[in-house]
Structures are given as structure tokens and as C-alpha cells.
Amino acid sequence: MRTQVGIVGAGPAGLMLSHLLHRAGIDSVIVENRSRAYCEARIRAGLIEQWAADMLVETGVGARMQRESMVHDGIHLNFGGGLHHIDFHKLVGKRVTIYGQQEVVKDLIARRLEDGTKILFEVEGTTLHDIGTAAPKIRFRHDGRADEIECDVIGGCDGFHGVSRPSIPSGVLTTYEREYPFGWLGILAQAQPVADELIYSYHRNGFSLYSMRSPSLVRYYLQCAPDEDPERWSDQQVWDELELRLSGVRVLPRGPVVEKIVAPMRSFVVEPMQHGRLFLAGDSAHIVPPTGAKGMNLAFADVRVLSKAIAAFYRSGATGLLDQYSQTCLRRVWKAQRFSWWMTRLFHLFPEETPFDRKRQLAELDYVASSAVAATSLAENYVGLPVE
């Protein structure tokens, strides 16, 4: 089959890229190795920066988000036995939206199919060919038959473990990464939220995060060993430890735990984010620790830049914006990495740290909570830096 842009991956990056291209009159085909049901049920973080929420609304896929999401003016920092509110709206005039990533995926899939975009789910054996030429190809098996997509551009939006990044020849990419000596034990529970906004908590036992997915569904995290077995924790042990790390500042509503996972903590970037006619976007090019809530937002920023570059290419044949894609995206990616590292370092206990470091962390938290300048810097980064 023939299309203008072939897209590997039906996650937020691939679906949004296809959506933005459609609005520019550019055809695409998406291939995805998972089923539609899997993509729509896979629960991931759902904090959306204001510019990204605005983009969903402005491009016609944000109506359900507007009805069902929760809009937050800020976050709480919990340390020293008290809660300290960072008011984003007061400081920088912006907010963040809580709306599950799986819900964004549902909305985008429905819209892509309504618009007539071909999404091939449950493909097998995907490989990329001729990416260094003007006629790249995506080969795969679907419904038991071999198939091929001929296109002008490939969007590699298939995540950290996908085939896109490994398809780039050896020696082209430089990898920058950091593994953290801890993970997050996460629970999803049917319970009332402990607060109307997220709480980032510093405690002598380690970091914890109190978040929500809806008025009756909460997502909580505890710093743990990177190889922690989640089944080692009973539901009561999880709730007791969460309440301990909240330091008694709030009564913690409890409820049935429906999921227990351990999430690894990693920082990862490859440069460049392109080779020939293959352009990496989202987790295929970079991973941030979830402390800064940047994952899906960075993916959206990538494909916003990429869609504009592809549109310019089809309008005039000029490749200037395509050539600059990696450089443009990486400026924002590294700022997000810096902020996510800073937030991680601010709240987590590192095994090599000393009592001096613990005192330094508390002093920095106190500075952020008491300085309008420091709080504004946090707010500016949290709600989302401008997209090129």
C-alpha cells in the first residue's frame, strides 16, 4: 500500500502525529503490534500540560477531556510535618489537567478511524527499510499475510522497546542515560483522593506521591528498591506505609487495590532523533523519570514539531524544518530531563547520601515553598515550557 507518512506505533505520539497530519491534508497509515483493546486499556500517567490540553481542544479531540477531566491549579509539597501549596495559576497563569493517558488514546483512535485513517492493529514482524532514501518502507505481517507500506516519511512512535530506533544504523546515534537506584511501587485503588491536587511527599523512609485518576480512582506511589516484588506488599502494608509517609497531615481514605506494579526509574536520550526519512518521537527517543510528569507531554511536543515540518515539506518541497527536527526537539527534551532530574533529586533518598544531604534537601524544599522566585521556576516547568 502507498501513503505519504507511515507511522509505527498507536500510542499518544503516533496517534497525535496522524491527527495533526490529517488536519494539514496529509495521509498516513499506522501500524501497531498490540490490539486496539490493549492500547485503550493500558493505564499510564495522565497529567497534561496546559499547552497540550489546549492543543487537544483546538484540534477537535478534547471534548470528552473537558467534560470528564480534573483541572488543577497547583500541587502540594509535603515535608517537615506540613503541606505547602504551589499555586501554578497564581504564579504563571496556567494550570494542568488530570485525564488518563488511556482516555486520550481512546479519543484519538476514535477520531482517526472516524476520519478514515487506516490503523492496522496486531501486526507482526515489523521492519523498516530504505530509511536513508526518499522512499522508505515498512514491512510487516497482518492477518497472516505479508504486507508493505511505501511512504515518503516514517514516524517512529513505537516506544522504548520498539523497532524504530534499532533500525538506525550502528554508529549514528549517541545514547545518554542514567539508571536510578530505586523504583516506584505504584498502586491503583478504588478510593477517594486524599486531596484535590497532587501531593509530593518527602519522608525519611523515601518519596511518595499521591495522585488521582478520577473522583473515585487514585494512583499512589512509594519509593522502593528497583527490583522490588510488588506481591511482597499486602494491601494493608501499602496503605500503612503511604499513611506513614504522609506524616499525619491528612487522613488517608482507603479502598480496594486493583493494581500493584513497580515502575523503573530511568533517564534516556538518543541524539539525533532522526536518520534519513525516519523521525523518532516520544519514548522511542527519550525517557524521563515520572517525577516531573513529562512523558506524554514530550511525545506531543515532538509530533507537533514533526507535523509542522512534514507539512512544510509537502507545501514547498523544502526540507529545512525536517533537517532541524532533532535539534528543535532536543532543546526542549533536555530542559524536561533537567527538571525531571531536579524533582527526582529533590524528593528521593539516594543510597550514597549522608545526613548532610538530607538537611540540604529539606533546606531546598523550604526554599521552594517560601520563595516566590523558586516556586515560579517550578511552576513554569511543571505546567509546560513553550513548544517551538
Catalytically active residues are 72, 200, 290, 294, 382
Residues paired with residue 76 on neighbouring β-strands, in sequence order: 85, 199
As a whole number of angstroms, the distance between CA 357 and CA 288 comes to 23
Burial of 370 per CB tally in 10 Å (0-12, 13-18, 19+) = exposed
As a whole number of angstroms, the distance between CA 34 and CA 122 comes to 5
Torsion region of 194: left, alpha or beta (phi above 0 gives left; psi -120 to 50 gives alpha): alpha
Evaluated on CA atoms 186, 188, 193, 194, the torsion sign reads negative
As a whole number of angstroms, the distance between CA 113 and CA 367 comes to 50
As a whole number of angstroms, the distance between CA 225 and CA 234 comes to 16
As a whole number of angstroms, the distance between CA 183 and CA 226 comes to 4
Q: Return the DSSP state at 163.
A: S
As a whole number of angstroms, the distance between CA 70 and CA 73 comes to 10
Evaluated on CA atoms 150, 171, 319, 159, the torsion sign reads positive
User: Integer distance in angstroms from the first to the last C-alpha of the chain?
Assistant: 33
As a whole number of angstroms, the distance between CA 173 and CA 275 comes to 9
Rounded alpha-carbon distances, angstroms, from residue 73 to 45, 116, 130, 346, 358: 18, 37, 48, 21, 29
Evaluated on CA atoms 354, 355, 359, 365, the torsion sign reads positive
Residues paired with residue 222 on neighbouring β-strands, in sequence order: 185, 208
Q: Return the DSSP state at 350.
A: P
